[in-house]
Structure 1
Amino acid sequence: MIAQTGAKSGSGPLSGIVVVDLTRVLAGPFCTMLLADLGARVIKVENPKSGDDSRAYGPFINGKSGYFIAQNRGKESIALDLKNPEDQAILHRLLRRADVLIENFRPGTMARLGFGQDALKALYPQLIYASTSGFGQTGPYADRPAYDIIAQAMGGIMSLTGHEDSPPTRVGASIGDLGAGLFTALGIVSALHHRNRSGEGMAVDVAMLDSQLALLENAIARYYSTGTSPKPMGARHPSIAPFEAYRVKDGHIVIACGNDPLFRQFCRAVGHEHLADDPRFATNAKRSEHVLALKEAMEAFLTTQTIRHWLDFLGKAGIPSAPINNVEQAINDPQVQHRRVVLPVDDPSVAPLCVAGSPIKFSGFVTPETRPRAPDLDEDRARILADFP
């Protein structure tokens, strides 16, 4: 049986860790969802008037936001007005026992409310204080607002996405937000490890723009090696060939040969070993140089057979290949089903909604059959107040 992180009960390697979550929309909530999946108790502090902005984002199932559920399952909710002295006192009650505070307000907002990092460090020296923002806590853009598309545009990834001469294209998933959320979660876990050794809390400062640059893979190295900014290449890899989507009789498949022996193995399997002997295609560097000619030569025979034929044939030959799945096909793939990557939400009112579970598997923690529900606004107030006197 596959083992994985636990559910809202707190089973997981972060069991016993208390996270006070002052974030909203995506980057911060995605981070704290990851921590909840790892077993942390996440207390989501929301605006009493309307809660997290994403509660108003569709799609809706019986009046509940699927967007909100997907990022906030497994958390608890309490509504606090951080400008209200009584509610500020409640937040201090939480912080006295919290391990982590995470916020994604514009820099300076928390300090103006009396909850800046310097003030809280004096009161709670072991607290991990994590901030996720568009541009970080310092620098000339620190005060600017940002959304995912801002980070994607400024961070270079939109310039690499799509096809050459196509209009600017946003990555289909919100990689600007999600990348920052991932790096914030990693920063928090690292800071907790440091605290275990030193007894000291610390600040974690993650910017969406910084995170976007960190995810550019080899594009930065390509710029410095050539002096030219890389351009969009569709599905093609900039320095490996064959490594892209290829047309077949009834659609497209992906074929990826990451080294010369694998390319020769592919050519031998498909009965076109002469391609591996062609001086234009003899090495990966040459294939990358003549990538369009290589694609034309491959599609000349690939288009004679169907997707199913080639996937079966190449799979048996040990050639890395794949269908280009839509979302429905991806979530119903037998491997995805076996790994329990997508699981139903434990909330009959939104059935049959499923969400992505944690992709991290651990020995010792059994994969759940469902993912815990997302809280209604202020739903957990009574229990939280009782637990944090």
Structure 2
Amino acid sequence: MDRSRTAPPGPLAGVRVLDLTAMVMGPYCTQIMADMGADVIKVEPPAGDTTRHISIGPEPGMSGVFVNVNRGKRSAVLDLRTAAGADALRALLRRSDVLIHSMRARAVAALGFAYRDVAAVNPAIVYTNCYGYGRRGPAAGRAAYDDTIQAECGLPHVQERLTGEAGYVGTIMADKVAGLTALYATLMALFHRERTGEGQEVEVAMFETMASFMLVEHAGGALFDPPLAPAGYPRALAPNRRPYRTRDGHVSALVYNDKQWAAFVGAVRPPWAGEHLATLEQRARQIDAVYALLGTTFLERTTAEWLELLGALDIPAAPVRTLDELFDDPHLAATGFFETVDTPNGPVRFPGPPAWFSRTPGRVAGPAPRLGAHTAEVLDELGTPAEKGPRPWTSP
């Protein structure tokens, strides 16, 4: 299904974004903005975004990760270390609503594009910084990647408590959560500007974002003064919290609230059930033991049998799928989640926007750009020859 070519403009139609980000955090944020109708101009140095080369792709510089998080953007190569490149960016700033970058504070200031410099050119702009660590703390300016931020925010520690060995989770969670945070923070600032006309500076730091994310449930009793318990959400930290092994595979199920528990016990009649486990409060106090008991029971039937029974009882349950199986999932197919876009390298099946709008639906904005594919086009839009100046790019 190719909805992307016929869908009406998304809710960000008319918004122009200058994207000076690289890797995943910033590009994921601006990819969503492009899917929602924004004109996103990806300003790249002559060497391009490093992410162009970090996974397999149909041609050099077009890796799968890059293609996915930079779809629908226009690539303009500007060497901001040159006067011509800096002047071209300033001309673009005058016509833009958002500038978002992922350079460290010292580096962006050295180029002459700190917030005060940009606001002098366009006071109404929303200027979003994407950093590893916030500027007000002693870690400001430190280099950061997803792995190091996972470590800082406690994820490997949580994994150690579960498995006995520290480890990262199997996705670049810090990059993506911080990218979503940068998205909502930027849109909040745009909403404020729509009401007041005021631009402003926004800062989103990966460490602070992930600390907030992890402490949603794990703060627990440590929130209080004095602390009532060490930080940590017992259910999430229970070693036996895992997909249940069945007679022929695995199934994920959560027999959680009292209604679900009573239905399960009534239908299955496990010998270990009793009044000591009748309420959620009782089960929560011994949650790991509860998971272990359930694990013995799930061994008694096949995955299909459990899915049929749990579905009839309205208890959340799902098969354990592979990543490849997502591309053939019948629910995702029925909702039109994947969108096929024609690209110079052939059709690409993108995962589409997960949010739905009745009047301004988003869509996959188009293919990812080759390096510098739109440099001339973007500069020609500046209008006057004086604004254009010398061509400040290096041809890829």
Answer whether TM exceeds 0.5 for this pair.
yes
Please state if 1:326 is matched with 2:322.
yes
Aligned to 1:31: 29
> Residue type of the partner of 1:302?
F
Kindly provide the CA deviation profile for residues 102-156 of structure 1, in whole angstroms up to 9, marking residues without a partner as x.
Answer: 0000112221111110122122110000000100232211110000111110011
Structure 1 distance, partners of 2:211, 2:14, is 34
The answer (yes or no) to whether the contact 2:217–2:232 under 8 Å persists in 1 is no
Structure 1 distance, partners of 2:249, 2:92, is 55
SS of the equivalent of 2:342 reads: coil
Structure 2 distance, partners of 1:377, 1:114, is 24
Q: CA deviation at 1:331?
A: 3.0
Please state if 1:277 is matched with 2:274.
yes
> Residue type of the partner of 1:310?
W
SS of the equivalent of 1:355 reads: strand
SS of the equivalent of 2:150 reads: helix
Q: CA deviation at 1:278?
A: 3.1
SS of the equivalent of 2:129 reads: strand
Structure 1 distance, partners of 2:374, 2:257, is 55
Aligned ranges 1:1-389 → 2 under 5 Å: 11-48=9-46, 50-63=47-60, 64-161=62-159, 164-216=162-214, 217-224=216-223, 225-230=227-232, 237-238=236-237, 244-272=242-270, 277-279=274-276, 281-351=277-347, 353-365=348-360, 368=363, 372-389=366-383
Structure 1 distance, partners of 2:360, 2:303, is 38
Amino-acid identity (%): 33
Q: CA deviation at 1:350?
A: 4.7
Q: CA deviation at 1:9?
A: 9.5
Judged with a 3 Å threshold, the aligned counterparts in structure 2 of structure 1 residues 163 and 343 are, in CA distance, closer, same or farther, namely farther
Q: Which moved more, 1:104-113 or 1:146-155?
A: 104-113
Structure 2 distance, partners of 1:88, 1:218, is 45
> Residue type of the partner of 1:228?
P
Kindly provide the CA deviation profile for residues 19-52 of structure 1, in whole angstroms up to 9, marking residues without a partner as x.
Answer: 000001110111110111111100000011x200
The answer (yes or no) to whether the contact 2:7–2:362 under 8 Å persists in 1 is no
SS of the equivalent of 1:78 reads: strand
Q: CA deviation at 1:62?
A: 3.6
Q: Which moved more, 1:337-346 or 1:258-267?
A: 337-346
SS of the equivalent of 1:168 reads: coil
Structure 1 distance, partners of 2:8, 2:279, is 52
Q: CA deviation at 1:197?
A: 0.9
Q: TM-score, normalised by structure 1?
A: 0.89
Question: Where do 5+ consecutive residues of structure 1 fail to align?
Answer: none
Q: Which moved more, 1:338-347 or 1:68-77?
A: 338-347
The answer (yes or no) to whether the contact 2:9–2:362 under 8 Å persists in 1 is no
Query: Which structure carries more relative contact order (alpha carbon 8 Å, separation 6+)?
Result: 2
Q: Which moved more, 1:337-346 or 1:20-29?
A: 337-346
RMSD: 2.6
Q: Which moved more, 1:212-221 or 1:241-250?
A: 241-250
Count of aligned positions? 378
SS of the equivalent of 1:215 reads: helix
Structure 2 distance, partners of 1:23, 1:10, is 27
Structure 1 distance, partners of 2:167, 2:144, is 18
The answer (yes or no) to whether the contact 1:264–1:276 under 8 Å persists in 2 is no
> Residue type of the partner of 1:381?
T
Structure 2 distance, partners of 1:9, 1:105, is 34
Q: CA deviation at 1:242?
A: 10
